Amino acid sequence: MFTWSFIVIEVLSAVGLIFLVLLHSGRGGGISDLMGGSLGAAASGSTVVEKNLDRITVAVALIFTFATLTLDLRLQ
């Protein structure tokens, strides 16, 4: 049961991480342009939304990392 719960956490964090990385605006704007993210970024540079998106992405990446390490140690 413990292993399965970490597998679920791993899969959910992986899908969430993919989604969050695609939301970041890069050189071309990315998917965040489709949701109106380009207007705020063009007007003021780095917005509060971008900073919060960065924080959430880092938090999900840490969850993914710890879930991966826990599964590695658990399945050895």
Segment 12-63, tens digit of pLDDT: 999 999 999 998 876 655 565 666 655 555 554 568 888 899 999 999 999 9
The beta-carbon contacts of 57-62 under 8 Å, at least 24 apart in sequence, are: 57/17, 57/20, 57/21, 57/24, 60/13, 60/16, 60/17, 60/20, 61/17
